Amino acid sequence: MQQKFSVVILSGFVSGVFISSFISFGEAFASLFIFLGAVFFFLHGMKIGKLFLIVSLIFASFGFGILRYEYADKTPASYGELEKMAGGKADITGVVIDEPSKKSNYTELAVKTGDLIILVYANHYPKFNYGDKITLKGTLEKPENFNESFDWKKYLAKSGIYFEMFYPEAELVSSGNGHWLKKRLFSFKENFLSAIAGVISEPHAAFLGGLTVGARDAIPNSLKEDFNTTGMTHIVALSGYNVTIIADNIMRAFSFLPRMFGMGAGSLGIAFFAIMTGASATTVRASVMALMAVLAGATGRIYAVTWALFLAGFFMILQNPKILRFDTSFQLSFAATLGLIYISPIMSKKLWFMPKKFKIRETISATLSAQVAVLPLIVYKIGSVSLLSLFVNLLVLPFIPITMFFGFLTGAIGMFSAFLSVPLGWISYVFLQYELYVIKSFAKIPYASVAASGFSEIFLILSYAIIFLAILHLHKKEKLAEQES
C-alpha cells in the first residue's frame, strides 16, 4: 500500500514537472493544486472515502512538481545586470568552472561570473584550464534557437547558462581558483589521454578516448558523421551502457567470490569511473543508472531495482527538474537501463539458439534490448534513423568491453611507463581497427541513414506506449507458461 501511494506521488510530481516544461502555469496555479490536495486530504480524514486520499496525493504532488519547475526556471539575481549589456560590448571577469571542450574551430569555456554562467566560444590560444580566472572583452549575446525542433535556449538554461560570447579577447588573471580535487581529476584524465595518444595513432587514439572516458573532442568530424549514420554515437558518450560494461566486467573478475563482494566491486568500479572522468552531472547520472542495471542482473530482483531506479530518477529531477525534458544523457541512460532490466531477460530467452559461451547470448540480448529502448528517443532527438544500426551494433558491441579493458590498461600503465604500455596499445589497436573498419564501411552504404524529421513528440509517446504494452504482454505470457508447466 505504501509503495502504491509512493508511485502516485512520484507520478504526480514528475507529471507536474514535465507539463511545466512546456507551459508556464505560475506559482498561483501550483498553489491552487496544493490547496485542492489539502481539501481532499481533509475530506479523507472525514472518512468520506478512500479515493479522496489518492486524489489528494495526485493534486498535491502535481502542484509541487509545477512549483519546483517554476522555482528552477527563475533567472538568477544578476541576470538583469548582464541583460542590459546584451547585444553590446561587455567587459567581464569570471572563472572557468568546467573542463574546456576543444572543438575544430574553437574552444568552449563555461565561465562563471557572480551567479551566472556564460558559454564562451574562444580561440584555441591562449589556452585556459579549469579554475583559471579570466577577463573577457567582447559582445555579450543571448542564446537564440536555431530551429523550431530544438530549444537551444532552454537546453543551455538547464545548466544555468543564459548568455554567450563569440571569440572575445580573453586574458588570464590568475590560476587555481577551482576545487583542488576536480582539478586533480581533470589533470589525471588529461595524462591518461596523453598516455593513449603516445602509443596509438589517430583517429584510433581519439576513438579510444571516447570509449573509455567520453573524450569526444579529438574525434574527427567525418568520423562523428559515420557514428551518426550507423547509429553508433552512443559508444563514445558517457552513457549508462559504457559504465555498465565497466561494472559488469569488474563483477565478472570477482565472480569467484560471494555475490555481495562482486556487487560491491562493481559499485566501486562505477564510482571510480565517475571520479576519473571528472564526476560531472552527466557522468553521475549515467553511473547511477548503470548501477541499477548491474544490481538487477546480479540479484534478479527486477521489481525492487526498478523501484530504486525510479527513486534515483526522482531525486535527480528534484535536484534539477529541467533534465527531464532537456537532458538527452539522462533520458537515454534511463531508457537504456529500463531496457536492460526489462527487455534483456525476454530477449535472452528468444535468442535460445545463440551460444551462451563467452557471454555471446547475454551480450547480444543486452545490445538489442538497449537499442530497442533508446531507438524512439534517438530518432526524435537526431531527426534521422539508421537502417543499419542493428547490424553495426551486433558486429561492434561484443568487442567493446575487451577494447575498453585493454584501452584502460594502455592508458593507466602508459602514465607510468610508455614502454610497458606498447604491447597493450597494439592489442587495443587491433580491436579499434576492426570496429572503425566496420563503422566506416557501413556508413558508405547508400541510404544507411534516412531522415525522420516528422517524428514528433506524439510519435515518441506512442512508440514508448507500444513498447510498454509489448513488454507487458510478453511478461504475462511468460508467467502463464511458467504456471502451466
Q: pLDDT tens digit string along 224-252?
A: 888 888 888 777 766 555 566 666 665 66
Specify which of 331-340, 395-404, 462-471 reaches the highest per-range mean pLDDT: 462-471
Range scoring the smallest mean pLDDT among 5-14, 93-102, 200-209, 270-279: 270-279
Which residue type, as a one-letter code, is found at position 273? F
SS3 228: helix
Strand partners, 451: 384
Specify which of 35-39, 146-150, 273-277, 436-440 reaches the highest per-range mean pLDDT: 436-440
Q: Where are the alpha helices (H) located in 141-280, listed in sequence order?
A: 152-157, 180-199, 204-213, 221-230, 240-253, 259-276
The dihedrals phi and psi of 26, each to the nearest 5 degrees, come to: 90, 160
CB of 374 closer than 8 Å to CB of 222:
no
CB of 336 closer than 8 Å to CB of 374:
yes
Q: pLDDT tens digit string along 300-339?
A: 666 666 777 788 888 889 988 998 888 877 888 788 878 8
Q: Is 256 exposed, middle or buried (0-12, 13-18, 19+ CB in 10 A)?
A: exposed
Q: Is the pLDDT of residue 283 over 90?
A: no
d(CA 78, CA 58): 36
Choice between 375 and 295, residue whose per-residue pLDDT is larger: 375
d(CA 275, CA 278): 5
pTM for the model stands at: 0.79
**Interaxial angle between packed helices 259-276 and 180-199, expressed in degrees from 0 to 180 and rounded to the nearest 10:** 90
- Which set of grid coordinates corresponds to residue 2? 505504501
Report domain extents, the chain: 2-72, 79-174, 191-484
What is the pLDDT confidence band of residue 3, given thresholds at 50, 70 and 90?
low
pLDDT-above-90 percentage for the chain: 21
Q: Cell 574553437 appears where?
A: 106
Mean pLDDT of 436-452: 87
Q: Taking the alpha carbons of 369, 373, 374, 379 in that order, is the dihedral positive or negative? A: positive
Specify which of 124-133, 275-284, 338-347 reaches the highest per-range mean pLDDT: 124-133
For position 167, what pLDDT does the model report? 93
Mean pLDDT of 41-45: 76
d(CA 104, CA 124): 9
For position 239, what pLDDT does the model report? 57
Q: Is the pLDDT of residue 399 over 80?
A: yes
Q: Is the pLDDT of residue 25 over 80?
A: yes
CB of 404 closer than 8 Å to CB of 211:
yes
Q: Cell 582539478 appears where?
A: 183
What is the pLDDT confidence band of residue 100, given thresholds at 50, 70 and 90?
confident
What is the pLDDT confidence band of residue 120, given thresholds at 50, 70 and 90?
very high
**Which architecture does CATH list for 79-174?**
Beta Barrel (2.40)
For position 396, what pLDDT does the model report? 86
Mean pLDDT of 251-262: 65
Mean pLDDT of 59-79: 88
pLDDT mean across residues, the chain:
82
Of 360, 417, 364, residue with least CA distance to 391: 364
Report CA 60 to chain centroid distance, whole Å.
Answer: 30
Strand partners, 170: 136
Mean pLDDT of 83-96: 87
SS3 161: strand
The dihedrals phi and psi of 12, each to the nearest 5 degrees, come to: -65, -45
